[in-house]
Amino acid sequence: MTHLTIAMAKGRTADKALAFFERAGIRFSEYHDKSRKLVIYDDENKVKLIFVKAVDVPTYVEKGAADIGIVGKDTIMENPVDVYELLDLGIGKCELAVAGFPDKQFPSSALLTVASKYPAVTKAYFDSKGIRIETIKLNGSIELAPLIGMADVIVDIVESGKTLKENGLVVLETIADVSARLIVNKASYATRTSQIQQVISDLKAALE
C-alpha cells in the first residue's frame, strides 16, 4: 500500500501535533527541531510527512497532493477549500478578533479602514454586519497599522493579548475561535477510507 501523505507547517503546532501522532502510534524519530528535511517517513514507513507553508496546507489537501492536512482554522477560513474537516486537535488555540483602541468613536459617515492578514475573513465578517469597509492587506506587524493611523481597527489572531496590550490596543469583537484542525482530501477519503479512519480514531483516542 502506498504512503498516506500528511501536510503541515513547521513550528509549535507541528511539534504538538507530532506528540499526538506519537501517542497514536505513529512515530517520526527522524524529526527534530533543527532538522531541515522537508519530507520524512514514520518508523513503520506507512506515513509520509511533508512540511509546507501553513497557508498552502489547504491547497495541498484540496488538490490531493496530500491526503491529510493539519492547519489552523484561521487559514481554512481565509482560504476555503472543498475538503472534509474531521477533527479538532485542540492545539494552537487562539481567537480571530477585531482589535483597536478602547473607546474610540468612528464617524459613521467615513469608510472604516481595517488592516489584516486575513482580507477575505475581514470582508465576510463586516459584510455580514452590513458595515462597509476598506481592507488593507498586511503580512505582519498588523498592530502597527492603528498606531500610525493607517487603519482604524485590525483583524488578527489573538493568543494571550500581550502584543495588543503592549501597544495599547484591546479586543473589540471576537470573530471566531481558532485551533488546529485535521482536514482530509475527499477523493482520498473515498479511495482509502479504512486507512484514514484508522488514523483519525487513533488520534481521537490520543486526544482524550
Q: Can you tell me which of 15, 186, 201, 205 binds another protein, judged by CB under 8 A?
A: 186
Q: How far is the CB of 65 from another protein (least distance, A)?
A: 8
Q: Can you tell me which of 10, 27, 40, 64 binds another protein, judged by CB under 8 A?
A: 64
Other CB atoms within 10 A of residue 153 CB: 25
Cβ proximity to another protein: between 26 and 83 the closer is: 83
Please give the angle made by the CA atoms of 98, 100 and 106, to the nearest 5 degrees.
Answer: 100
Cβ proximity to another protein: between 69 and 100 the closer is: 69
Strands 153-158 and 112-116: parallel
Order of strands across the sheet with 170-178?
Answer: 133-137, 112-116, 153-158, 94-100, 170-178
Cβ proximity to another protein: between 38 and 176 the closer is: 176
> Do the beta carbons of residue 77 and residue 14 sit within 8 Å?
no
Binding mask 21-60 for another protein (x = CB under 8 A): ----------------------------------------
Query: How far is CA 24 from its chain centroid?
Result: 22
Q: How far is the CB of 167 from another protein (least distance, A)?
A: 31
Binding mask 124-163 for another protein (x = CB under 8 A): ----------------------------------------
Cβ proximity to another protein: between 141 and 193 the closer is: 193
Cβ proximity to another protein: between 87 and 164 the closer is: 87
Q: Exposed (0-12), middle (13-18) or buried (19+): which is 169, by Cβ within 10 Å? A: buried
119 belongs to the binding site for another protein (CB under 8 A): no
Taking Cα atoms as reference points, which of 156, 53, 54 lies closest to residue 95?
156
Query: How far is CA 97 from its chain centroid?
Result: 14
Q: How many chain residues bind another protein (CB under 8 A)? A: 22
- How far is Cα 196 from Cα 188, in angstroms, rounded to an integer? 8
Taking Cα atoms as reference points, which of 33, 31, 32 lies closest to residue 41?
31
Q: Which stretch binds another protein (CB under 8 A): 33-41, 109-117, 156-164, 186-194?
A: 186-194
| Site residues (CB under 8 A) for another protein, limited to 67-106 | 82-88
191 belongs to the binding site for another protein (CB under 8 A): yes
Which chain residues interact with another protein by CB under 8 A?
61-65, 82-88, 181, 185-193
